Structures are given as C-alpha cells and as structure tokens.
Amino acid sequence: MQVLKTPDARFEGLKEFDFASHYSKITTADGTQLCVHHLDEGPRDGELILCMHGQPSWSYLYRKMIPLLTEAGYRVIAPDLIGFGKSDKPSSTDDYTYQAHVDWMTAWLEGLDLMDITLMCQDWGGLIGLRLAGEHTHRFKRLVIANTTLPGSDMITDEMSEALGQMYASLPDVTAADVQAQFAAGSPGAFLYWIKYCADAPDLSVRDVFGLLSNMKDEAVLDGYEAPFPDEGYLAGVRKFPTLVPILPAGKPDRLKGDAAWASLEASDLPVLTAFSDSDAVSRGGEQRFINRLKNVKNVTIKGGGHFLQDDQPESLSAEIIKFMRGL
C-alpha cells in the first residue's frame, strides 16, 4: 500500500482552527502502518463526545462546535478518517473499502480504549460510526445521528440494488451541474450521479463538492476544507467514498453487516438524538428510519442547516447535544 501524508505546511494558519494535533498508529490487514490524526479538547474527566465527519470533510468541520461543547464541560475527540484531514492517505482507490474503514476505526478506538462515548456522526461518520456502535455497543453511552444513514437490506433490497446497478451503467459523463440539478429535483437517481461524478470527473475538487452540498462562500473556510488535498494524488478517498455506499449489487456484504449493526442497536437501550437539518437534499427524511427502528429516540430538526450542518448551524446543533446529554 502506497501512503501519502499531507505536508504540515498545508494546515498552517487555517481559519478558526487553533487546536493541538494528536496522532496514533494502526496496522492494516496487509501490515501497513497508518497514522490517524485526532483532536482532543476539553477536560480529561469530562463526558466524552466522539465527533465523526464524512466525505470530503475532516475534523475542521467541528471547529465551531468544539469550543461550545468544551465550555459546557465535555471532552471532545474528533478523528480524521483515513484518507482525509491530517490522517494518512492511501494513494489507490483500491485500498478503500467500507469494511476497511470500519476495521481501521475499530483499531483506533480500541487503541485509545475509549469508553462511555456519546457519538456525534454525520455523513460517512454515521455509516462508519454506527457500525462501530453496533459492533461495540459496550463502548457507547448515547448516539447523536445527523444527516446520515446506516445502510441495510430494509433500505436497499436485492431487486432495488440490481435496478440501480443497471441505471448506473447507463449514466453518461456527469458534471457537477448535473449532480446539483438531480439533487435539487429530488430525483431517485441523484445519488448515482453523485457516485459517478466523484469516481470519474477529471476536474473533481473539494471546493466544488462543497459548492454542490452547501452554501459556503467564505474562501478562507473553503481553503481549510481543501487543505488536506494538495493535488489529485491525495483524492483517492474523496473519489471512492460515494462508491462505497452499498447500494449497488457489489455492496450486499456491507448491507448484511449493516443489518447486524441495526439488530444490535435495536436491542440496546442507548438514548438516541436524531438531529437532521431542514435543508439537506442528500439525507432528507432519513431520520425516520432511526425513529421507527430504535428505542429512546428524541428527534429535533436543525433549522437553516444544509448537509454540513456542523458548519451551518453549530450553535443550534451544539445546544441540542448539550440538552440531550443533560437529559433536558
């Protein structure tokens, strides 16, 4: 496995990002050592909130929430997934699988021996984080689920998967504008356009992705999100992640793993807060699966938030998490 590391100079002077870096090593199935970066802020004895990001963001996504949560007395740990942020980046898309990410973050979680975790997860932070919670329930105390999902057979049947596979094979070359139009129209095939765009677009950029999925205009902030990716060689994870959402036929083993995680979470008594935003075309309505299937669910809607609600509405989301943790 060839591994890239983003030069530290890329992260100097980023807007609103004055946090100490922490690193730990994990070992992959082929024996490669990978370095995982995380933030660790707040009192050591505070209740732990594990903040997990998705694609194409990194722990920078939580820069506005971390001070709000630590001021309330909580300890916040925010890792960068492998392929993102300050963590190592395997250079080949073939190195990235859904199961590999679950395995890598499991090794990281166990290496730090984190316990009594309140999970805050969004986007791929949910697809990975909820697998962790389902497979290691004893380490978790609460779940905060926002703008994400946990794929399983109830969401994508074999028949649906086959039909989506045929549809995907027929897609033309896809532009960013095509993806935006599909999501805006609420097209059932919009996510296929998203997969195709990330996988094949010759001019893919993180800036463009944020343009598709948010109303972010601050160039300094966009610089922060783009910092981990100096050139195309660093984008393997960004390109591969949408393909790993197990909706196509090859994803059936991951859907079955999702079923097992669902069964574990359904059997648990973990308190759950669903906090989806009101303006996310990607995950719209996704909270209903969690409300219907899990116990002890409290549901709130984060108004004025897009897909990256941590950046859009950090105060509202943080306030809801604090109330939830305090039992209010």
Positive or negative torsion for Cα 94, 98, 100, 101: positive
Could you tell me which residue, 118 or 284, shows the higher pLDDT? 118
As a whole number of Å, the CA-based R_g of the chain is 18
For tokens 């969401």, name the residue. Answer: 155
259 given a catalytic annotation = no
pTM equals 0.96
Provide the number of structural domains found in the chain: 1
Q: How many Cα atoms within 13 Å fall on the side-chain side of residue 138?
A: 2
Among candidate residues 37, 53, 101, 307, the one labeled active-site is: 307
136 given a catalytic annotation = no
173 given a catalytic annotation = no
Among candidate residues 178, 280, 311, 312, the one labeled active-site is: 280
CATH at 232: 3.40.50.1820
Task: Calculate ∠ Cα 31-36-37, nearest 5°.
Answer: 165
pLDDT in tens, 160-207: 999 999 999 999 888 888 888 898 888 878 999 999 999 999 988 899
> In terms of residue numbers, what domain contains 245?
3-325
pLDDT in tens, 262-285: 999 999 999 999 999 999 988 989
